[in-house]
Structure 1
Amino acid sequence: MVSRVVFGRGSFDQLQDILAPKRLNVKAPFIFLVDDVFKGDSWITSRIPLAYKDQILYISANEEPTTAQVDELVDQIILNHNDGPSGIIGIGGGSLMDLAKAVSIMLNNKGGAKDYQGWDLVKSAAVYHVGIPTISGTGAEVSRTTVLTGPDKKLGINSDYTPFDQVILDPELTRDVPRDQWFYTGMDCYIHCIESLNGTYLNAFSESYGEKAYELCKNIFVDDKLSDEEAQDQLMMASWHGGMSIAYSQVGVAHAMSYGLSYLLGTKHGIGNCIVFDHLEDYYPEGVQLFKKMKQKHNIVLPKGICADLSDEQFDVMIKVALSLEPLWENAIGKNWKNVITYDKLKALYQKM
């Protein structure tokens, strides 16, 4: 679990007080990995407490994070800072959260990021790292994984060293999220709840978080009677609780198949989950029915035909990526999932998208 959490509107301004005791020395900087959408946005960037050799690295979140990108960032930090950093601070959406976690791990572990894609492969503790989400829904701020696209697969670095040492949850930072993106990342949280609450890995601990996140998602996306500030506060809490639920259980069919879309087509995680989930009535009938209601209520039109012109070889790639995520399928279907989930069944689903 994340050991330290601050929540509240305006809590971003506590960052200087939080970081000061963690500075190793004046030559060991804090490196801020910041979504480049905030470049020139003084409302956020002017409040980043830079001192000594601290550095901001602006990073585009237009593409999903890759193992190569992590390795390049690690090399850049090592080359420019001989004493190593005091910490890594990620400011942005799920992609920036994942990059901050991955970079902090790889600064203290040999080899490339692709060598650690899997479960419990990390041997050395990460550099001190802080997550400050500016979008709510992914749960990346709380999870023990950092999802990366590698040369052979899309898979997280799942370990006890991955979670942030400190998270700052300031709902004010989400105020300018575009409407469609707000919906897609919010649905990522909603799908976390559905997959966790309907999974074979469910337990009392994960259930309590999943039920709370589900209730909050309904408040926000179904009832829709909240003020903007109330909706921001509740979605940030839903994201946290949904992330906690899957951290102690697992996700399922939508996430497994969306990883295939992302690996082959570069489909962003939130919208990819929505595209897949829209066709999963056979697995999550009540959850999909409510999803379609929320989609209609918020006038969301999902892309269609993204798999229409794919070759058999391309379908092979997507299906191979999806099937490689065995814990997700076991959670969704059970230990006999390989007898249920066939190549033809997955191809038929992808062909609907």
Structure 2
Amino acid sequence: MEKKHRLVVYDCDIGTDDAWGLAMMLRAEELTLREGRTCKVGAITTVHGNTDADNGTLNALRVLHTLNRRDVPVFRGCYESIVPRTWEYTNCFHGQDGLNDVGNYPVVDVEQELQPEHAVNAMYRLARDNPGQVDFLLCGPLTNFANCINLYGNSFLTKIGRVYIMGGNIFGKGNVTKSAEFNFMMDPEAAHITLERLLEPAIILPWEPCIDGEFDTTLDWRLNVLGAVDHPFIELLTRVERSMLEPRGFVKWISCDSLLTAAYLFPDAMIAEQRKYYATVELSGNHTRGQMVLDHLRGRKVDNIHGKKINVHIIRRLTSGATFRTIIAWTGFLPNADIAQLCD
């Protein structure tokens, strides 16, 4: 039987959506969720992605300062993808430093506050010491997690809890190339290793449900209602998102990693449709490298890949935006956000 108390490794490449998800996880430590579940963030691990691993680590520490949670251990992870990229990512949606280079950040002392252990080793140690109790929320490229699999194999895989991934796509809709989602494209080999080696299915929130859902969370509400909350975390994230999203003409506010976190914490309230598949990742295609490929013919003996075991539970559709807005309002300290209704 799965233990009710869960330790969470939050693996991220902070950016703003990772920051919102992290804040949500930390706030959730005070809750008793449905079926008596409780959770605690056992580690924040950082990885290359929205910015480099050094900036991502700084951002994690900065977020912890704004939330007055310097007790949470941070471990710096991998700087590079498993196979060096032959293309350069120049879009830098989150700016060079991951927080759109807005400056005036909380002052952190990396030498004093960063754990000396590498993120990959910390992942293994936590799973080894707490068998079956550690869940992994993977919100960036999967480089840390895949390297942990490669280093420790089944001595790691047999001890982990559930694995939640924000990444991949189900209709070939890309956001960094025409057919690949960012997290998978930044390290396709890591995504492939993860999906092929897991002993139990991962829960994946792909790109399309994040952008195509009927969400009523507008950027105006985010910046001018939630953004009016007097709190250091809100002040920092509002400065970043205002500078990043308003000039690009965004109307809806989309925060993929916090959607994954909400689905982890409140699955009954957040997940409207979920299906089981065998999934893999295209590694060789000239136009499709990094695309997640689902076996829609599972059970039909068309060729030799079919009949492979189910390795993913794909979240195909999220619930209406009202539920998420309640969760994010509570995450952002908005008064009268009724989170209790989602825990009963």
TM > 0.5 = no
Which has the larger strand fraction? 2
Q: TM-score, normalised by structure 1?
A: 0.30
Which has the larger helix fraction? 1
Q: TM-score, normalised by structure 2?
A: 0.31
